[in-house]
Chain A
Amino acid sequence: MDKFEPVIVAFCCHYCAYTAADMAGSKRIPYPPNVKIVRVPCSGKVDAIHIMKALEKGADGVYVAGCLEGDCHFKKGNLNAAHRVEYVKKLLDETGIGGDRVEMVMMSAGMGEVFAQTATTITEKIRKLGPNPAKFPSNRKAASNE
């Protein structure tokens, strides 16, 4: 059997996690290529439907990366995002997909190491969980080729 390579979508806030990813790159800190970054103007911009659609379209895991508590550029977008992630977790538990495929993480723009570490930890966690059960075998192949 082929080794399972999870597809993970990371919604990263422009003001922190996205810059932290950049920092990780500048410092030559490696992180798994499984993580596909989507830059958002604030983690609070990420709606529940974005997370659900990512999973429906073939992602095995999704995480939202926002600023540290109290540091949001838009005051409390990161807290709104955290609440939405909790809501989606419950919905996914009900669906049978499992809420543990979705996470909320917080970091500052200077935390390149934390970004790489988070990407690695989440990738390994999803690898252990296995493929998203909502994917048909044909979808799995298509998703890993994208």
Chain B
Amino acid sequence: MITAERKPLEEIIECIRPYDRILLVGCNECVTVCAAGGRKEVGLLASALRMAFMKEGRTLEITELTLERQCDPEYVEELVTMIDAADAVLSMACGCGVQEVARRYKNKPVYPAVNTKFMGASVSQGVWAERCQGCGDCILGLTGGICPVARCSKRLLNGPCGGSTSGKCEISDDVECAWQLIWDRMKELGIQDRYEEVMVAKDWRTSRDGGPRKIVREDLA
């Protein structure tokens, strides 16, 4: 999923200070799962903002709505009936959702209420970690299902480096060495011999190096 974290309240307040009527829009997908911008978080942020403004002696009118998916035009269309009643939109979706709202409602200012972080997985309740960088040419089949692009600090394709100590990365004791994980997994699967194969330099044009990317499925488009 795409993970996100709420921005500091002060930053959000400064964005919406000039306005009296805010449409606060959440998303029912990834940001709900990572507890950053779902219905619950929309309710909490709305309540916190109302109180922050009441403290200043101002009344802030906030309309709360959580869309099924904020990155799809079909769902963003649902805002059409309430957009005119708002001075600005505050979005709790990832950057994709914010941009979709901005694209559809051209004359309405849109502000992000979360910082979009990474594509990750849930490690345990309340903990998420980066697992994929969307490089566009998946090598998980060669690395025992553990991604060195996302999980090695240096993105080494032939690791580990000298900074790997007791299974930990030199940048922090909290970071596991991806290549140690890969080796352990290969051993478990009995395919250690694959480790000897040198991986050739990766073509990064399929990643961000090739500029903004697009997928066109001609049978669907």
Contacts and interface: CB of A to CB of B under 8 A. Distances in A.
Contact of A55 (B10, B40, B51, B57): B51
Interface residues of B, number: 14
Interface string A82-116: 00000000011011110000000000000000000
A52 interface: yes
A48 B44 contact: yes
B156 to A, nearest CB: 38
Secondary structure of the B side of the interface?
A: helix
A56 interface: yes
Interface string B44-59: 1001101110110100
B51 A134 contact: yes
Interface in B9-60: 9-10, 40, 43-44, 47-48, 50-52, 54-55, 57
Contacts of B47: 49, 52-53, 56
A56 B62 CA distance: 13
A95 B55 contact: yes
B54 A134 contact: yes
B74 to A, nearest CB: 29
Contacts of B10: 94
Given A49-B44, A136-B54, 7 more contacts: A48-B44, A53-B47, A56-B47, A56-B50, A95-B55, A97-B51, A133-B55
Interface of B: 8-10, 40, 43-44, 47-48, 50-52, 54-55, 57
